[in-house]
């Protein structure tokens, strides 16, 4: 578990947003609020590599995502591997946009997003602290799904427009 400055947390100095339980053998940090980010930062996010910084927020991909690429590829014949990689990149891009929605809302609410980590099951936007009050928390939580909804509507409109022009076959 790490502080925002990169220092390792200890029982005397828990990371921001965490509190140290009663000292004792085997004691672990617990969250005061805001998800499992404190427990996960030290364990799960150590093998993630930065792939970009949109809006100043580092986007990192965990090595397990790369390990799943062969599993994606074997689902398609070799002639369609380009299409499979394009589809996988599209899914990851939509996850990044979803998490950037949370990061944007955090910034608007006076909080800071530390990073976005892409995992095989989705993504995690690490927010430095949760906004004060339930209204801010609801806005922060709803921002990602709102971005996903706008993206889905835009893609649906594009598919409809392509269908109207007769461009129905999108195979590569």
In this structure, are residues 60 and 116 in contact, taking their beta carbons and an 8 Å threshold? yes
Q: Which of 5, 12, 99, 115 is flagged as catalytic?
A: 99
Residue 55, classified by CB atoms within 10 Å of its CB into exposed (0-12), middle (13-18) or buried (19+), is exposed
Does residue 5 have an active-site annotation?
A: no
Residue 18 bridge partners (DSSP): 31
Distances (CA, A) of 100 to 5, 22, 80, 105: 22, 36, 30, 8
Distances (CA, A) of 132 to 9, 31, 135: 24, 16, 8
**HEC string of 76-112?**
CCHHHHHHHHHHHHHHHHHHHHHHHHHHHHHHHCCCC
Of 84, 80, 79, 129, residue with least CA distance to 109: 129
List the catalytic residues. Answer: 99
């Amino acid at each position: 578990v790490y502080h925002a400055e990169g220092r390792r947390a200890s029982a005397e100095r828990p990371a921001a947003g965490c509190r140290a339980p009663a000292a004792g053998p085997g004691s672990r940090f617990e969250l005061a609020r805001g998800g499992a980010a404190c427990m996960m930062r030290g364990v799960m996010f150590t093998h993630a590599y930065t792939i970009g910084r949109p809006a100043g927020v580092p986007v990192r991909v965990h090595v397990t995502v790369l390990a799943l690429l062969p599993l994606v590829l074997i689902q398609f014949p070799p002639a369609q591997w380009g299409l499979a990689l394009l589809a996988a990149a599209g899914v990851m891009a939509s996850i990044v946009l979803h998490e950037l929605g949370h990061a944007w809302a955090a910034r608007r609410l006076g909080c800071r997003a530390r990073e976005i980590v892409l995992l095989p099951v989705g993504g995690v936007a690490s927010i430095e602290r949760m906004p004060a009050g339930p209204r801010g928390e609801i806005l922060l939580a709803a921002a990602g799904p709102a971005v996903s909804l706008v993206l889905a509507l835009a893609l649906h409109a594009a598919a409809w427009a392509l269908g109207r022009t007769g461009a129905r076959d999108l195979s590569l």
